[in-house]
Structure 1
Amino acid sequence: MPVVSHAKPKSGADQLADALGELGVEVAFGLPGVHNLPIWEALASTGVRLLGVRHEQTAGYAADGYARATGKLGVAIVTTGPGAANTLAAVGEAQASGSPVLVIATDIPSTLRRPGVVRGVLHESSDQAALFAPLTKRQFTVAAPEEIAGTTLEAARLAQQAQSGPVYLGIPTDFLTATTKRAPDPVHHTPVSEPLDLGRARELFERAERPLIWAGGGALRAGAGAVIGELAEKLAAPVLTTFGARGLLPPEHPCLAPNSVHSPEVGALWDEADLVLGIGTDFDGLMTQNWLMPPPPTLITVNVDAEDAAKNYQPELSLIGDAREVVTALLGELPQKDGQERLTARLRRISAAIRRRIREDEPQAADFLGTLEEVLPEDTILIADMCVAGYWIGGFHRIPGPRKLAYPMGWGTLGFAFPASLGSAAAGTGRAVCITGDGGFLYGVGDLATAAQENLPVTVVVVEDGGYGMLRFDQEQAGLPARGVDLDGPDFVALGKSFGLRSERVQGFGRAFRRKLGAFIQSDEANLLVVEAAMRPPLNTSPRWYRKERG
């Protein structure tokens, strides 16, 4: 990045606006406060759309939803103290899911801070940046007004650099109105790739008779789907995708195993494999049923972080680098294997068996998934919450392509879906369809005002089962009475209408749901569909993990 020098001084807020423009930021999400108002003023004259929300947590989730839908930087702009702290749940989810999110928060005026003393300045905390330390890649606090632009660029680059994740940027509020020349930007260092041991990889693959590819969110974020698909066909290897990698391969790909690995038929593919190639994954507890899946006889990992790749299963070989680049290199080294037709036939049988089980186990879920597959256009972005309907989507809905599902199974934050869907809707990449429960929806229900005011293309589907249905199931399984899970709620249809949204109610996931959902997603406006239904949770929820039951 060349050194930038302004002919005349600018305010700190203008420098921030300039930096966001240089980064190509088109949309940011924020809530105004007395300390950050200069940012709103500075951005008003730029091409950056600052979309106002009703809660800072929504700003964080919306920035995450935008990042997941686009692969670009998500930006949340909040105010000092409680405003910054309100983003923490969203920041934790962004970290666990590898979302490149930049949280820009003001801090108390530098002139009023006294080191080591909390004086009682409005919104003061002893160390605001420290609140974000466990949940971000790094925390920046601007040291002088002239450093605002350069520090913003550095923080944004770090957020987007693999492994991507959230970064905190704090700016003392008095710096925003200070007039100064911009300091030279910091030098940006590109990480150096390590040499790949492709010869050793070839040896291991040549010995393998039943290879398997396990692809995680890092593979999707690297845009490695096409080359992974080629590699799978070359190896005649099934591809298992994690929650974060759903949509990596098209549903019709001949090597794509049906989700989810929590189904015994899919889990058997792992058990039988004599070599697993783990790409962009850390083999987390949710996907491995808390590591009850046995370690593979041979494991090769592809990851930008060797420690992350080896923290749960020990690899025999680690290939460190960008997933797309490393897999491309492997393609040129590995021999063609036979067995593609047999593999595809087996995967089709597995898929049919899973669909039969869903129909027998929970007919409403079969209707629900069938309607989504039939009605949703391919450019729809589906955002699911941690509710029973969301678990069915995360585990078993056929995702048509990359970045068409946002699911909070990184940190597992209830209340994610609706605010994240606002960010996805603002991305302009397709209509957002939010699937949430009546419990989680109430976390951020006030931002129905944002959906209406900003005329966002989002359909909110609230599955109403009278409370926290997943937790109710947990208590039932344990033989316990329902405590704290049965909730009185509002009339969601009347509530939606009070915000000016078209809102309707249906019973169950039958024909009326299919007809209404089809009509709602054709709209150009935000709308709300309430479905009265209670479903049994699927196999990918921890109370129903089959390996735990067998153990």
Structure 2
Amino acid sequence: MTEARIGGDLVVETLRALGARTVFGLPGQHALGLFEALRRAPDLRLVSSRVENNLAFAADGHARAKLAEGGPVPVTPMIVSTGPGALLTLASLQESRASSVPVLGISSQVPAAGLGGGRRGYLHELPDQQASFRDVVKSVHVARTASQIPGALRAAWESAATAPYGPTWVEIPQDVLLGPAGLPPITGVSASPPPLAPQPELIAEAADLLAAAENPVVLAGGGVARAGAAGPLRELAEALRAPVLSTFGGKGVFGWDHPLSGQSWMEDWHSTEFLAAADVLLVLGSGLGELSSNYHRFAPRGRIVQVEADAGKLESNHPALGIHADAGLALSALLERLPRRRADGRAERAVAELLAKVHDRLAGQDLEREQHVLADVRAALPEGTPTFWDMTILGYWAWSAWNADGAPMHSAQGAGGLGFGFPAALGAAAATGGPVLAVSGDGGAMYGIAELATAVQHGLDVTWLIVDDGGYGILREYLTGTFGQTTSTELSRPDFVALAGAFGVPAVRSGLGTLRADLAHALQTPGPSVVVLPALLRMFAPTHLPV
């Protein structure tokens, strides 16, 4: 006997037609129709979670890992239930929005009769669930009937995959998901995100400015990474003989040891001044926000050309020749117009002087332990291993000091929420097969500790480094630096090694002398593992303002 198709089947069929092969989901009462449909679709992999916010982080990590592979924009679907389940994803979706990650959230809703602001007394009911998501995601879509499901999902998919990428949200009532499909099987749905091409007149003006510049500099942001435009960026920098600095979100888009690479010491005043001194600064895929502008101390003295896919970020912090475009398409257009300069070594010398100043300042701060730990982590990684970093002191170090060549770095610096590292790494491992490295502090680790069960259940090859300093280390430094004392930052925490063992996850308590070997062994052993490093690390002094 053939099982009758229901509304949930329309969701699954449409996702499959759009290109989804992995779905992240956590069941709930109103979402039963979705999960029954997933049971009937063995060609779709379902990855679960223990908490909805971690599920959304995992979907984010999966999308980031697939973006790094190139090809069509890899929108990652995530399915949750109404009310509490849906609301728990908000903080994670804020990170996806801030970091331009294409996640498609799908939520059940109360029965259709309860939509529209009434209070019918349904379990999980909200007066207006959509309102909670409108200012977090790129777009919100509702399918009130079965026939509206394919169109709503296609529109949401296209929105998520249109530059700037980002999360979108679809809601479908419980009775629609459980009711008869009413449509033939869906196999031909496709999404065609429109390219965000630059205006030719603005590209011509930008090319003229850059060609005439005596001291051009490039600041490469996350938009370059999302566009997969590392190759055109290198070609442009070498044609212009222009130094390139990367924002924290743009790490890895330009070779760390390239002679023109000023790396990514964005919290160092020498880097801030280096950018400010450019007569033409080409900003690619960055809004010049708080972190990229050294907490808004950046004061440019030349012209800025800003290429940004998010129109709301154009000239939001500094006047510029603003070009609303995908960074990759803008780079290709600029390369068609820019002449190639003869190398004279001037830019390379300027970069070498900048990095020498940065390293000299670090050398005066007694930070050998921190640099040694970061170097050991980097040395332990097999080539090509992606890394996911929580908001922890070692993660803050990595923003500036991590060499992402052959070790892609992803962090929660877009929105800055705790708990990103481990669940996002699980999502990445579902995409790549692993190994993947996650890095957390002991405070951030507690946000995702339940996902050790997820790692075991799905056999995800993630090594989790937990730096245990007894509290919220970066907040301890902020409070102590501001007020001379701290409060609410010191934490009781479990024996992480014993706790991991209770989940059946191999774990080791490491030390400063054994960290590299312990991490290397864990990363070379298939499946989840935990390495705990008890260590009190310090942050470098972020700025040095001129007297």
Q: TM-score range by the shorter chain?
A: over 0.9
CA distance in 2, matches of 1:357, 1:94: 34
Q: In the alignment, what sits opposite 1:36?
A: 31
Q: In the alignment, what sits opposite 1:520?
A: 522
CA distance in 2, matches of 1:471, 1:227: 39
Shift of residue 37, structure 1, vs aligned partner: 2.2
2:160 corresponds to 1:164: no
Q: Say if 1:306 and 1:318, in contact at 8 Å, map to a contact too.
A: no
Q: In the alignment, what sits opposite 1:78?
A: 80
Gaps of 5+ in 1: 1-7
Q: Say if 2:96 and 2:102, in contact at 8 Å, map to a contact too.
A: yes
- What letter matches 2:124 in structure 1? H
CA distance in 2, matches of 1:174, 1:442: 37
Gap change, CA 1:188 and 1:342, over 3 Å in 2 = closer
CA distance in 2, matches of 1:142, 1:545: 51
Gap change, CA 1:467 and 1:243, over 3 Å in 2 = same
- What letter matches 1:374 in structure 2? A
Instruction: Kindly report which structure 2 residues correspond to 1:111-510, keeping only aligned pairs within 5 A, or say none.
Output: 111=113, 113=114, 115-179=116-180, 180-181=182-183, 190=194, 193=197, 195-197=199-201, 198-315=203-320, 317-339=321-343, 341-355=345-359, 357-358=361-362, 360-361=364-365, 362-400=367-405, 404-428=408-432, 430-507=434-511, 509-510=512-513
Q: Secondary structure at the match of 1:247?
A: coil
Equivalent residue for 2:18, pick from 23, 38, 41: 23
Per-residue CA distance 1:55-82 (angstroms, 9 max, x = gap) = 0001111011111111221221101110
Gap change, CA 1:169 and 1:115, over 3 Å in 2 = closer
Range 319-328 or range 442-451, more displaced: 319-328
Q: Please report the TM-score for the alignment, with normalisation by the length of structure 1.
A: 0.92
Q: Secondary structure at the match of 2:432?
A: coil
CA distance in 2, matches of 1:445, 1:187: 37
CA distance in 1, matches of 2:233, 2:195: 23
Gap change, CA 1:384 and 1:230, over 3 Å in 2 = same
- What letter matches 1:126 in structure 2? P
Q: Say if 1:30 and 1:76, in contact at 8 Å, map to a contact too.
A: yes
Q: Say if 1:379 and 1:431, in contact at 8 Å, map to a contact too.
A: no
Percent same amino acid among aligned pairs?
Answer: 34
Shift of residue 337, structure 1, vs aligned partner: 2.5
Aligned length: 533
Q: Say if 2:374 and 2:394, in contact at 8 Å, map to a contact too.
A: no
Gap change, CA 1:207 and 1:470, over 3 Å in 2 = same
Q: Say if 1:262 and 1:546, in contact at 8 Å, map to a contact too.
A: no
CA distance in 1, matches of 2:409, 2:196: 32
- What letter matches 1:336 in structure 2? R
CA distance in 2, matches of 1:327, 1:191: 14
Q: Say if 2:471 and 2:491, in contact at 8 Å, map to a contact too.
A: yes
- What letter matches 2:448 in structure 1? G
Gap change, CA 1:429 and 1:161, over 3 Å in 2 = farther
Shift of residue 176, structure 1, vs aligned partner: 1.2
CA distance in 2, matches of 1:490, 1:307: 44
CA distance in 1, matches of 2:532, 2:192: 49
Q: In the alignment, what sits opposite 1:545?
A: 543
Q: Say if 1:19 and 1:150, in contact at 8 Å, map to a contact too.
A: no
Q: Say if 1:149 and 1:185, in contact at 8 Å, map to a contact too.
A: yes
Q: Say if 1:276 and 1:296, in contact at 8 Å, map to a contact too.
A: no
Q: Say if 1:19 and 1:152, in contact at 8 Å, map to a contact too.
A: yes
Q: In the alignment, what sits opposite 1:4?
A: none
Shift of residue 352, structure 1, vs aligned partner: 4.9
CA distance in 2, matches of 1:173, 1:85: 17
Q: Say if 2:305 and 2:322, in contact at 8 Å, map to a contact too.
A: yes
Q: Secondary structure at the match of 1:132?
A: helix
Q: Secondary structure at the match of 1:36?
A: helix
Range 341-350 or range 293-302, more displaced: 341-350
CA distance in 1, matches of 2:122, 2:326: 46
CA distance in 2, matches of 1:265, 1:462: 32
CA distance in 2, matches of 1:189, 1:475: 45
